[in-house]
Chains A and B, each alone.
Chain A
Amino acid sequence: MYVKLITAFSAVTVVAAVSLHGPVFAHDAPLQGQAAQGKRVFQQANCIGCHKWHGGGGGGYGGDALSLRATQLDRDQIIETVLCGRPGTGMPYFRRGIYDGGEHQCYGLGRQELGKDIPVEAGTFLRPNEVAAVTDYVLAEIKGKGEPTYAECSAFFGDNARVCNVYKTGQPASDAAQPSKQGS
């Protein structure tokens, strides 16, 4: 079932996204202000909870969030993923009622076909302009980037944030690398 869904996901994503593109998202060009709004959405919608502040995602205790830095998805595909979530994974859907039989059908699949693999509902629903904004933020600030940098971290959290210390040198903490003798 999972393999089938993924195949279906790949096949229908572009079609579905293109058909959505016109009526829901009237303007395309990412704007500076929109990217800034996108960052707020990225934080408030808890994208950070799985993809981390840097978008790198990664495995751990709960699933394996995809890297938005390494993603090959284009704008329409990212929008579709945010609206619809990803079947069979932990990525939730952020558009209210998207699986309730409206005009837009995610990946060409409905609630019945998806069964238990239907994506979970996000804690926060997003309006179309918020989806566009967070997508533009991902495209402008995250997609295609390599390892996170101090400059990126400071841009996200502000200057002198301790959360960014670790990127100053790019080196792990000192005595984790070289165990010292016991005792003080």
Chain B
Amino acid sequence: MISGRIAMRNLALACTALAGLLGAPARADDITQDRLLNADKEQGNWLLHHRTYSANRFSPLNQINRDTVKGLKVAWTMALGGVEGGGIWSHGGLEGTPIVENGMMYVTDGWGSVYKIDARNGQGKLLWRMDPKTDHDWAGAVACCGVDNRGVALWDDMVISHTLDGRLMAMKKDTGEIVWQRQVADPDKGEAVTAAPLVVKDLAITGVAGGEYGIRGWIAATDLKTQKEVWRTYTIPAKGEPGSETWKNEGTAANGGGSTWVTGSYDPTSNTLFWGVGNPGPDWDNAHRPGDNLYTDSALALDLDTGKIKWHFQHTPNDPYDYDSVSENVLVDVPVNGRQTKLALTADRNGFGYAVDRATGEFVWGTPFVKKVTWTSGLNPETGKPVEYDPSQPVQHYNAAVTPSRENKVAEMCPGNMGGKNWPPTAYNPTLRLWYIPTIESCNTITVEETKPDSFKPREFYTGGGPSQHQRITGSVTAIDVTTGKVAGKAETPFPQLGGLLATPDLVFASQPSGEVLAYDAKTLQQLWEFNTGGGVNAPPITFSVDGKQYLAILVGLGGAWDKWFIESTPELKKMQTGSMLYVFAL
């Protein structure tokens, strides 16, 4: 036995020496680009923010299914941190998507601490916590919508994460030790980072928040091997660049918004990155910024290697509503009207779900997924633009009776400015070809303030007005048949969907800010299971398996924009307490 140990040690030493000669080889649990490209094949893992580059948030795991889900129970929980306040925020919240690799889970709290948890053996054991010491005052004062961090990425033997104060960080997966960090966004400019990084081909892609602070938005790529920035594509064109003509008033583009605060998707066959762009600034005074305001409220397709924009599709030109288009683009291949089509799907804050040809950006279909849309009477079936859109007019009014403007300074519109769907991610079942949207069924009231030449002040809100809530807001999980573009079902919920969805072969998982985690039948949207966590949920569920057993995991801790800015529309949620918990369920 002893000699055996010695033999093994010698073999290990020999292997190490050989590895040294050949250069450091990838270990079995190192994250390579090949593994990320094939993340769907690692059935028990959740390797990417949206599970796969196509952002389907679909897991094939099926132990927890239509028949067994009623037996789903809490397996273990873990208290996390990051509830403290900072800046204008009284507390942090949890919006992160857990990442799981071979039974090891990585989650974040709102201030960007990263936790590695051993999720094997039916229990959760905290292995390390990396606290990035985020500057609470600096970042919290320019975080429009909460102290949020939506999760990490894995690359090589490292964990890659963002902080609210604008850093991109790499830490050792084994120990949490910080290897390097770089400042990628600048809170002095009103920039913050809440999105999880997307790692593709040794690049970390960063999106930025700050559309309410007069930033000029961008998407940036950092080479993880050199820690150098490879490209930074601004979402507001510079003077003379294509699209700059859509900012007709001199100087408005410089503070034109166009944030990019939701993690995008990637198509390896065309080497294209898909990323959504947020609202123009100031949000509600569109007369201040005549023109279509490209590339705000648009889906962008970009070349991964250069950041060059291949095409764009703008949803709400010259937006007077705060209808960001930051939503993830979900990449699906389906027959539409008898023709196999490669689509990019996005559920916009303006209440419409869109499908475009992802090679060209050509409009395929658009469907309202909320119960009530008042700002437009519909989309042009050829172009996908709102039917009232008049490209000859510098300022759009759409349905003028409900549109905030200098002529209509107090306007009630539907969807409200949180949108029909906000950042929480959709999920797609490729077998049923159903796309599930976490929906906010809403209207709210906007009061417009005319922007003056001195209205812009660094690090201060630059919104041209503000919302108020005089209407109850509810929610739904809405399913769209992707082959037809028609709504196939709607499961209504008392409160808005603020956490995002997960699809499995039989089920759709959702949540409520009042504490419930929910499971629906994937075909009928009949509710099959519910568990009340006792804390507000505004984070997406994921599933993974280890030791042959399937688990469901979700972060619980109400934060974000809702409980500060929109709580009046859901008064019962005022009683929800601050918390920071990880829940893991199993049969």
Seen from chain A, the residues whose Cβ lies within 8 Å of a Cβ on chain B are: 46, 48-50, 52-53, 56, 58-64, 123, 157, 161-163, 165-166, 171-173, 175-184
Q: Is A59 touching B189 in the complex (CB atoms < 8 A)? A: no
Pairs across A and B, CB under 8 Å, 17 listed: A52-B88, A58-B460, A61-B461, A61-B565, A64-B466, A157-B137, A162-B187, A163-B141, A171-B458, A172-B457, A173-B458, A176-B189, A179-B237, A179-B239, A179-B254, A182-B232, A184-B229
Q: Is there contact, CB below 8 Å, between B461 and A172?
A: no
Residue on B nearest A171 in the bound complex, by CB = B458
Establish whether residues A182 and B215, one from each chain, have CB atoms under 8 Å apart when the complex forms. Answer: no
Answer yes or no: B214 CB below 8 A from chain A CBs. Answer: yes
Nearest CB of B to A14, in Å: 29
Which residues in B have their C-beta under 8 angstroms from that of A61?
144-145, 212, 461, 463, 466-467, 561, 564-565
CA distance A139 to B165 in the complex (A): 32
Q: How far is the CB of A7 from chain B (nearest CB, A)?
A: 20
Within 8 A of A (CB), among B390-444: none
Whole-angstrom CA separation of A63 from B564 in the bound complex: 11
Query: In the complex, how many angstroms separate the beta carbon of B242 from the nearest chain A beta carbon?
Result: 10
A58 to B449, CA, bound (A): 11
With a cutoff of 8 Å between Cβ atoms, the chain B residues found around residue A50 in the complex are: 88
Do residues B456 and A182 form an inter-chain contact, with CB atoms below 8 A? no
**B137 x A166 contact (CB < 8 A):** no
Contacts of B87 on A, CB cut-off 8 Å? 48, 163
Across the interface, B231 reaches (CB within 8 A) one of A46, A49, A175, A184, namely A184
Query: Once the chains are docked, how many angstroms separate the CA of A146 from the CA of B212?
Result: 23
User: Is B315 on the interface with A (CB-CB < 8 A)?
Assistant: no
Q: How many whole Å from A161's CB to the nearest CB in chain B?
A: 6
Task: Choose from A163, A176, A183 the contact partner of B307 (Cβ within 8 Å).
Answer: A183
Q: For residue B135, which residues in chain A have a CB less than 8 angstroms away from its CB?
A: 162-163
B465 interface hit (Cβ, 8 Å): yes
Which residues of A sit under 8 angstroms from B307, Cβ to Cβ?
Answer: 182-183
Contact A52 B241 (CB under 8 A): no
**CB–CB A177/B254 < 8 A:** yes
Q: If A63-B468, A161-B138 touch, does A58 touch B461 (CB 8 Å cutoff)?
A: yes
Q: Which of B307, B460, B467 gathers the greatest number of chain A CB atoms within 10 Å?
A: B460
Chain A residues near B449 (CB-CB < 8 A): 59
Knowing A172-B456, A176-B189 are in contact, say whether A183-B306 is a contact too (CB < 8 A).
yes
B474 beta carbon closer than 8 Å to chain A: no
Interface residues of B in 446-495 (CB under 8 A from A): 449, 456-461, 463, 465-468
Does B232 lie within 8 Å of A59, measured CB to CB? no
When chains A and B are docked, how far (Å) is the Cα of A48 from the Cα of B561?
A: 17
Given contacts A52-B88, A176-B189, A183-B306, contact A60 B144 (CB under 8 A): yes
Contact assessment for B137 and A49 in the assembled complex, using a CB-CB cutoff below 8 Å = no
The one of B85, B89, B145, B216 that contacts A176, using a Cβ cutoff of 8 Å: B216
Report yes or no: B466 in contact with A161, Cβ–Cβ below 8 A.
Answer: no
Q: What is the minimal beta-carbon distance from A184 to any residue of chain B, in angstroms?
A: 5
A-B contacts besides A50-B88, A165-B188, 5 pairs, CB < 8 Å:
A48-B88, A59-B463, A166-B188, A173-B189, A182-B241
**Closest CB-CB distance, B502 to chain A, in whole Å?**
28
| B186 located at the interface, meaning its Cβ lies under 8 Å from any Cβ of chain A in the complex | yes
A181 neighbours in B (Cβ, 8 Å): 238, 241
- Nearest-Cβ distance from residue A154 to partner chain B, whole angstroms: 12
B254 touches A62 (CB 8 A): no
Interfacial chain A residues near B460, Cβ < 8 Å: 52, 56, 58
Complex interface: chain B residues within 8 A of A177 (CB)? 254
Complex Cα spacing A56 to B236, Å: 29
Determine whether the beta carbon of B232 is less than 8 Å from that of A183: yes
**B214 contact set on A, CB distance < 8 A:** 176
Q: Is B253 among interface residues, defined by CB-CB distance under 8 A? A: yes
Q: Give chain B interface residues in 554-573, CB to chain A under 8 Å.
A: 561, 564-565
- Tell me how far the C-beta of A135 lies from the nearest C-beta in chain B, rounded to whole angstroms: 21
Give the complex CA separation of A154 and B128 in angstroms: 35
Q: Is the CB of B461 within 8 A of A60?
A: yes
The answer for the CA separation of A176 and B135 in the assembled complex, in Å, is: 22
Given the complex of chains A and B, what is the CA–CA distance between A63 and B565 in angstroms?
8
B481 vs chain A, min Cβ distance (A): 35
Q: Is B230 part of the contact surface with A, judged by Cβ < 8 Å?
A: yes
Residue B227 lies at the interface, judged by CB distance under 8 Å to chain A:
no
CA distance A48 to B564 in the complex (A): 13
Q: Is B238's CB under 8 angstroms from A182's CB?
A: yes
Tell me the complex Cα distance, A177–B214, Å.
10
A residues in contact with B16, CB < 8 Å: none
Complexed CA–CA distance, A86 and B141 (Å): 24
User: Of all chain A residues, which has the CB nearest B461?
Assistant: A60
Q: Distance in Å from the Cβ of A175 to the closest Cβ of chain B?
A: 8
Question: In the bound complex, do residue B189 and residue A172 qualify as a contact, i.e. CB atoms below 8 Å apart?
Answer: yes
Which residues in A have their C-beta under 8 angstroms from that of B234?
179-180, 182
B255: Cβ under 8 A from any A Cβ: yes
Q: Which of A49, A60, A123 contacts B463 (CB 8 A)?
A: A60
CB atoms of B238 and A180 under 8 A apart: yes
Residues from chain B with Cβ under 8 Å of A46 in the complex: 85, 90
- CB of A31, distance to nearest CB on chain B (Å): 27
User: What A residues does B186 contact at CB under 8 A?
Assistant: 173
A172 to B216, alpha carbons, bound, how many Å? Answer: 12
